[in-house]
Structure 1
Amino acid sequence: MSRTSQRSAFRLLAGMILPVYRSLTVPHWRGQENFPAEGGFVAVANHLTEIDPITVAYPLYKAGIMPRFLAKESLFRVPVMGTIITRIGQVPVYRGTSRAKDSLRAARAELDSGGAIIVYPEGTITRDPGMWPMRGRTGAARLALEASVPVVPMAHWGDQEVLYRDPEGHRTFSAWPRKTVDGIIGEPLTPEDLVPGGLQRPGHPSAEELAHATEVVMAAVSHLLGQLRGETPPEQLFDPRAPRTGEAGTVGNAGGSVAP
């Protein structure tokens, strides 16, 4: 598939989803000129809440790029939803199974055809108490480095005013008034930006190279989010896999409060 394939299916889906989304939010994105005019790329973004996929897909769709996500495989088995997301070319992720590499192969094929793959490097909604990005997983960096395509960092702020999940998992929903959602698209990060000097083995990044590239990606996303919030992001990103020794980040007032 190319970045414009399945346009009619996307238009049908957007015609159903976007009116509801626009009834809840007023999205403002800047930096659309940073989407590469041609060729495949990996878009990465912070993850605030369950409506983020619509928010992040919105500027790509408006730019004529049909957005495709790496999505949990379980979603493809949900009646109706599974059929829809399969039809529009979303890529299932088989975590912790023998089919885990199938996801990367499918995503690589999309990139090789000039398409765009959206990845949440954190792998889940942030659990940072200040709602800053957490430490990332290496999948986005691996895709970009193996396919030799750029990474486009994105950040958004405001979704949490509509649907908020606290660290204990409790959710609150606010439909009115409409919430402003601000977003920014950063300049593309080339493979050379991710690993200065290039890979030791082209097309085969090492664990150390993947770790460094992932840090570069997450630093870019955090920096963009800091611009939106008018705050300085934490020097050390929250690591959900490490023992908790204290809270990382603070909740600021820029962009609205994060709790109702």
Structure 2
Amino acid sequence: MAEIVYPPVIGALRTMFRMLDMKIDIVGAEHIPTTGGAVLVSNHISYLDFIFAGLAARPSGRLVRFMAKKEVFDNKISGPLMRGMHHIPVDRAEGAGAYVAALRALKAGEVVGIFAEATISRSFTIKEIKNGAVRMAAATSSPMIPVALWGTQRLWTKGRKRAIAQRHIPITILVGEPMYPKRGEDMDAHTAELRRRMSELVDKAQRGYAEIPEGVWWQPAHLGGSAPTPEEAEALDAAEREAREAKHG
């Protein structure tokens, strides 16, 4: 397919990163194949995660097609960009359509990016994850590759003001070894193993980060930060869901 939008967007972002003197450390990029379909599964701590998870595939020369909620495509600014980069819209009321589109992309040899937690983790730890990524990988005989991002939450995350123009922010991107789920195998067991690997990668990224101050909002509670615990984060998410449902009747 024609790539008119994606390369210029990457170029503009790289220029912005240089201007902000953003320290981006990518480790394990060799795990992403240079050809063929692959499922990239990243943790989700920021509204900008698709940008940085996509950078993980750049050393392999790949462009990632991310699955993102339909509302992003409906926006008059982000919508044309998302469609131009051939990302995949997800309508939560009609999820089957997005799943089929992702399978089609994988069979065509594309790299599909998924945030298996579905929503941003306020605790900055791995939430419960869906098994969609595992099922896609198994159905298309594609490798499934876990990715951990850290530092992106400092730029823009749920409940915090945007700080995209901050300078000198370190960003860590860790790419784990591929998993190869097969048809007929236990999808729930593979999903549990994927979550374990993602948690391990995120912990490694957190503990090896260039800055580990105590008490800051962007540090998880178990490492001395003031972010909500997983239990507190779940309560906040539940309250948000209730408020949204009440608003829409």
- Counterpart in the other structure of 1:250: 221
- Say yes or no: does 1:137 pair with 2:130: yes
C-alpha RMSD of matched pairs (Å): 2.2
The CA deviation string for residues 189-242 of structure 1, in whole angstroms up to 9 with x for no partner, is: 0115xxxxx616xxxxxxxx33222111111111111222238xxxxxxxxxxx
**Conserved? CA contact 2:116–2:129, under 8 Å:** yes
Whole-angstrom CA distance in 1 between matches of 2:169 and 2:85? 28
Per-residue deviation, 1:175? 3.6
Q: Please give the secondary structure, in 2, of the residue aligned with 1:178.
A: coil
Distance 1:258 1:54 in 2: 26
Match of 1:179 among 146, 164, 169: 169
Letter in 1 for 2:45: L
**C-alpha displacement at 1:22, in angstroms?**
4.0
Matches within 5 A, 1:110-125: 110-125=105-120
Q: Which moved more, 1:44-53 or 1:20-29?
A: 20-29
Write the distance in 2 (CA, Å) between the matches of 1:224 and 1:173: 25
- The size of the alignment, in residue pairs, is 215
Residue of 31, 36, 43 corresponding to 1:34? 31
**Contact conserved, 1:251 with 1:258, CA < 8 A, in 2?**
no
| C-alpha deviation, 1:64, in angstroms | 1.1
Distance 1:163 1:191, change over 3 A: same
Q: Select which of 65, 68, 83 maps to 2:65.
A: 68
Partner of 2:16: 20
Change (3 A) 1:62 1:173: same
User: Structure 2: where are the runs of 5+ without partners?
Assistant: 209-219, 228-249
CA gap of 1:71–1:15, structure 2 versus 1, over 3 A, is same
1:81 CA drift (Å) = 2.1
Evaluate the alpha carbon distance shift between residue 258 and residue 15 of structure 1 in structure 2; reply closer, same or farther with a 3 A threshold. Answer: farther
Shift of 1:8: 4.0
Pairing 1:188-207 to 2, within 5 Å after superposition: 188-192=178-182, 199=184
1:164–1:91: structure 2 CA closer, same or farther, 3 Å change rule?
closer
Query: Which one of 48, 52, 58 corresponds to residue 51 of structure 1?
Result: 48
User: Between Structure 1 and Structure 2, which shows a larger proportion of helix residues?
Assistant: 2
Residue 141 of structure 1: SS of its match in structure 2? helix
Residue aligning to 2:191: 214
CA separation of 1:164/1:110 partners in 2, compared to 1, >3 Å: closer, same or farther?
A: closer
Give the C-alpha shift of residue 250 in structure 1: 2.9
Cα shift at 1:27: 0.6
5+ residue gaps, structure 1, are 193-197, 201-208, 232-248
Q: TM-score, normalised by structure 2?
A: 0.78
User: For residue 241 of structure 1, what is the aligned residue in structure 2?
Assistant: none
Q: Report the Cα distance in structure 1 between the residues aligned to 2:226 and 2:6, rounded to whole angstroms.
A: 31
User: Shift of residue 161 of structure 1?
Assistant: 2.5
Give the aligned partner of residue 206 of structure 1: none
Q: Secondary structure of 2:44's match?
A: coil
Which of 139, 150, 158 matches 1:146? 139
Identity %, equivalent residues = 25
**Match for 1:11 among 4, 7, 20?**
7
> 1:26–1:134: structure 2 CA closer, same or farther, 3 Å change rule?
same
- Deviations 1:100-149 (CA, angstroms, capped at 9, x unpaired): 21101111111001110000000010033xx1111101221121122221
